[in-house]
Amino acid sequence: MKKTLLLAFALAVPALAAAQPAADQAALLRDQAMRGDTLAWELVEGLTTEVGPRQAGTEAEARAREWAVRRLTALGFSNVHVEPFEMPVWMRGIERAEIVAPFPQPLVLTALGNSAATPASGLEAEVIGFQSVDELRAAPDAAVRGKIVFINHAMAPTQDGSGYGQFGAPRRQGPTLASRKGAAAIVVRSIGTDYHRNGHTGVQSFGEGARPIPAAALTVPDAEQLQRILNRAGERPVRMRLTLTPRNIGRRQSGNVVAEVPGTDPAAGVIIVGGHLDSWDLGTGAIDNAAGVAITTAAAHRIMQAGRPRRTIRVVLFGAEEVGGGGGPTHFRLNNPAGNVVMVGESDFGADRVWRVDFNFAQGNAALADRIAALLAPLGIVRGQNPAGAGADLSQWVRAGTAAIDLNQDGTRYFDYHHTPDDTLDKVDPAQLRQNVAAWTAVLAVLANAPGRIEGITPAPRPAR
Amino acid sequence: MKKTLLLAFALAVPALAAAQPAADQAALLRDQAMRGDTLAWELVEGLTTEVGPRQAGTEAEARAREWAVRRLTALGFSNVHVEPFEMPVWMRGIERAEIVAPFPQPLVLTALGNSAATPASGLEAEVIGFQSVDELRAAPDAAVRGKIVFINHAMAPTQDGSGYGQFGAPRRQGPTLASRKGAAAIVVRSIGTDYHRNGHTGVQSFGEGARPIPAAALTVPDAEQLQRILNRAGERPVRMRLTLTPRNIGRRQSGNVVAEVPGTDPAAGVIIVGGHLDSWDLGTGAIDNAAGVAITTAAAHRIMQAGRPRRTIRVVLFGAEEVGGGGGPTHFRLNNPAGNVVMVGESDFGADRVWRVDFNFAQGNAALADRIAALLAPLGIVRGQNPAGAGADLSQWVRAGTAAIDLNQDGTRYFDYHHTPDDTLDKVDPAQLRQNVAAWTAVLAVLANAPGRIEGITPAPRPAR
């Protein structure tokens, strides 16, 4: 049934589109996507159902690559291939915590990436609570030594996701800080905006000279519970038993999957779009990032079906984004020498609607940005003033002077699900997914067919997300 | 700090209240509760934080009884005591499921009460899917034998919770039906209205002659995932490995905690209100049912502080409600012979606002019902036409002819959290909790002080909740 639908769709579009002048064609393709795209949903459902969780470097991520090669080939993309690379792999084990005294009860948490293991029987220690990383930093080492550090904090949702940098500090800096002060372990409040008993995992790396210690994220309800337990315990020490048994299993293979829509004019350059194929192990990676994979693939596919564009569109589905980003650098290293990439953009912030577009275009391409902004306005997308940075996987290109575009998605509920078991297909809204496809289709229709030259930029640094 | 608050409050109320005629006093007490009750919140927070999960028959439930005796005594209740009883205890073990073929991936589920165990290494079998209990019932035994039965269905939220009876059928009837057809195990879609990866547990009992089999509830996202896997597998068999290691640990002690506000007129009879002290093991039992414990205790406490009522108010905090209700029958057996209970009412449907009042009063007490309904209307409570049945713990009294009142709580989001790890304090809205206290305070103020006789009723049967 799904194949029939796609075929009918593919037949319907090109004839119409070919008859229109370029600007009208972009609007037409945009509106067709908005009304009736089914490919993106089919891809999100397919990847999350037929593969499911696909942690970088695992056999599941390898199955995701096979799935992607098969699907991209069947969709008619050219030059479909894998760019393999190796990476160290950390695997989650048992994760369990309980308050031993004064109010015995279990707590729910999940290990952070690169956490050390406790003994198999767990470790028991007193809990010392802090309200921020700065409070931990200010604490005397003697107060922290041998204890389980707890960092509480509160993260509020923001539409642009800008809280992630600031509120992510307990996860990113906490473990190293706690280790340097001699803590036995650290538990942080999840970097999340929900109230469900699903922990938010995420990568962290122990800094130079910091011995790895067990590090985990309590769910938000459990972090608030631990805070209440500390409050009610008064002078009595709060003791926790923590069991985490993750393992470093050595180097394994990951890889990017690459596919192209070949352009008619090799001298006009290549446009890279994409998302990342790997996910965290806890959910099925629907919003992070089957959605980005599907949105950019579906948009590129629409351009392909509408007739051969002037510029080559390359879709890159990156490997190992979640665990530190081996795929982005690999693609840059292999492809930058060709010197033909003129524009980059990644979709990696969920599946909710695009609400803002940001550009990082050369002055000479200002008219191109104006044209794109005008085409996006009917989708409810405002024009922002921030320099686009592309996603984590493409940031090297921007730093090297490649023009970039960001289609910023609404992040209001993104951190309810991000890096949790709750990142599943039901969190994807088909209508908003279609709006994403429509926006990227309009962008690609303009950029791939624009006359003249897409120029390089003088890049500005961008804060990490 | 909390004690000081309570004391200040206790001093403020009685002088005012004693100066008013009875009807005005009920309204006054109602409004004071609505404006400023802090006791109910303090009790919900205390029980869920200092005890946490408290499965019936466990050491944690025993700690909950100690906590309740201590708190009720400190609050000034009379005749505070425990009614102990014994009960068989089933304890959850490991719970794990994975699809082995054709799309390998883990699924999240939780065992249902009284589930049998799989071998420690799990059992592997083909999955056969049904959309309802009726579809399973109609299936030939040969199609089911040796397989893992999956029952999918969809439960929609309702304000009055009326979907629980109907949509609970897969949990209550499915395991017995599947066992009788020779299934290896059964997994049902959680009886829940949320989309989080937290399974909804709940009790079920294998019927006469049905051999216990492993029985679990998939989370709603996982049930939809399994349905998609079945859909996409086509002719290929879907194989699941299921590991559940619960144990029956034999008979253990549970008990009810009883406390009274003594009346001035022993001949006027006793009013029983309460909730249940036990919870499921997965959450901290905030809405199910620390809230009911707290609401009825706080309301009775307000009456006590306002001056001695005519009738005795007995607060019963029942044991073992979740696992089949040992506490309700024990209290009935021990106390019914005295023949002095004239009215019963339980709060056991969360912490959201009371939206409807139902009565089960004798004809001769119609004016009393009218008076109560009028006092509740300003709290936004409508008068219903259903015969009140009291809660599960008090239904025997109603069947034996005792008058009853139901303050029905808004259940729209109740089954998002019910019997899951997500039943935690953050799900309780302090303002709605206060409205509950205000409603029960008004009810008790009228019933405990009403002149004349509260008569017995001719009971009608009530559907199980």
**Mean pLDDT across chain A:** 94
* Residue A141: per-residue pLDDT: 98
A273 alpha-carbon distance from chain centroid: 14
pLDDT in tens, A421-432: 999 999 999 999
Say yes or no: A315 and A370 in one domain: yes
Say if residue A277 is in the same domain as residue A417.
yes
ipTM of the prediction: 0.92
CATH code at B238?
3.50.30.30
- Look at residues B245, B279, B309 and tell me which one is the last residue of a structural domain: B245
Total domain count for chain B?
A: 2
* Distance (Å) from the alpha carbon of B421 to chain A's nearest alpha carbon: 6
B contacts of A49 (beta carbons < 8 Å):
103, 225, 228-229, 232
Is there a contact between B197 and A427 if contact means CB atoms under 8 Å apart? no
Binary contact (B221, A105; C-beta < 8 A)? no
Residue A425 lies in a domain: yes
Disruptive mutation site among A225, A279, A419 for chain B (greatest number of B CBs within 10 Å): A225
Q: Categorize the per-residue pLDDT at A11 as very low, low, confident or very high, splitting at 50, 70 and 90.
A: very low
Test B424 with A104 for CB contact under 8 angstroms. Answer: no
Last residue of a domain, one of A245, A263, A298: A245
Q: Assess if residue A142 is contained within a domain.
A: yes
In a domain, B133, yes or no: yes
State whether A50 and A181 are in the same domain: no
pLDDT value of residue B21: 55
A239-244 and A95-101 beta bridge pairing:
antiparallel
A60 and A46 co-located in one domain: yes
Please check whether residues A289 and A438 belong to one and the same domain. Answer: yes
Q: Do B422 and A45 touch (CB under 8 A)?
A: no
Q: Report chain A residues whose CB lies below 8 A from the CB of B106.
A: 52-53
pLDDT for res A21: 55
pLDDT of residue A22: 60
The structure's pTM equals 0.93
Q: Are residues A436 and A362 in the same domain?
A: yes
Residues of A in contact with B104 (CB under 8 A): 52, 60, 63
Tokens 């144990």 belong to residue: B247
Considering only CA atoms, which of A292, A317, A311, A306 is closest in space to residue A437? Answer: A292
Within a domain: B143? yes
Average pLDDT, integer, range A319-328? 93
Query: Quick one: A424 and A284 in the same domain?
Result: yes
**Nearest chain B CA: its distance from A362 CA (Å):** 45
Query: Is the Cβ of B197 closer than 8 Å to some Cβ of chain A?
Result: yes
Residues of B in contact with A427 (CB under 8 A): 195
Within an 8 Å CB–CB cutoff, is residue B429 touching chain A?
no
A297 shares its domain with A445: yes
Provide the pairing of β-strand A382-383 with A354-360: parallel
* Residue A413 identity (one-letter amino acid): R
Q: List active site positions of B.
A: 321
Q: Which of A245, A261, A291 is the last residue of a domain?
A: A245
Do B249 and B270 form a contact (C-beta atoms < 8 A)? no
Residue B44 CA neighbour count, 13 Å, CB half: 30
Whole-number Å distance between alpha carbons of B331 and B345: 14
Best of B98, B422, B423, B427 to disrupt the A interface (most A CBs within 10 Å) is: B422
**Same domain (yes/no): B287, B270:** yes
What is the domain-level CATH number for residue A369? 3.40.630.10
Question: How far is Cα B262 from Cα B308, in angstroms, rounded to an integer?
Answer: 7
Whether B18 has a pLDDT exceeding 50, the answer reads no
**Residue B459: inside a domain, yes or no?**
no
Name the pLDDT band for A455 (thresholds 50, 70, 90). very high
- Catalytic choice (A260, A321, A322, A346): A321
pLDDT at A7 over 80: no
In-domain check, residue A461: no
Lowest mean pLDDT among A21-35, A52-66, B168-182: A21-35
Q: Within this chain, do residues B24 and B142 fall inside the same structural domain, yes or no?
A: no
Q: Inspect the interface and report whether the beta carbons of A195 and B105 lie closer than 8 Å.
A: no
Tell me what percent of the residues of chain B surpass a pLDDT of 90: 91
To the query of whether residue A455 is one of the catalytic residues in this protein, the response is no
Residues B48 and B170 grouped into a single domain: no
Residues of B in contact with A224 (CB under 8 A): 425-426
pLDDT in tens, B383-416: 999 999 999 999 999 999 999 999 999 999 999 9
CA nearest to A237, candidates A116, A146, A108, A122: A146
pLDDT over 60 (residue B5): no
Q: Is residue A377 part of a domain?
A: yes
- Coil/strand/helix, residue B4: helix
User: Is the per-residue pLDDT at B170 higher than 60?
Assistant: yes
pLDDT(B268) > 70: yes
- Environment class of B308 (CB within 10 Å of its CB; exposed 0-12, middle 13-18, buried 19+): middle
Q: Over 90: is that where the pLDDT of A57 sits?
A: yes
Residue B462 placed within a domain: no
Range B220-247 average pLDDT: 98
Q: Give the domain range for residue B270.
A: 2-90+250-449
pLDDT beyond 50 at B51: yes
pLDDT, position B284: 98
Same domain, yes or no, for B59 and B105?
Answer: no
Residue A202, token pair as written in the block: 């995420």
Confidence check: pLDDT of A172 > 90: yes
Assign residue A238 a region: left if phi > 0, alpha if psi is -120 to 50, beta otherwise? beta
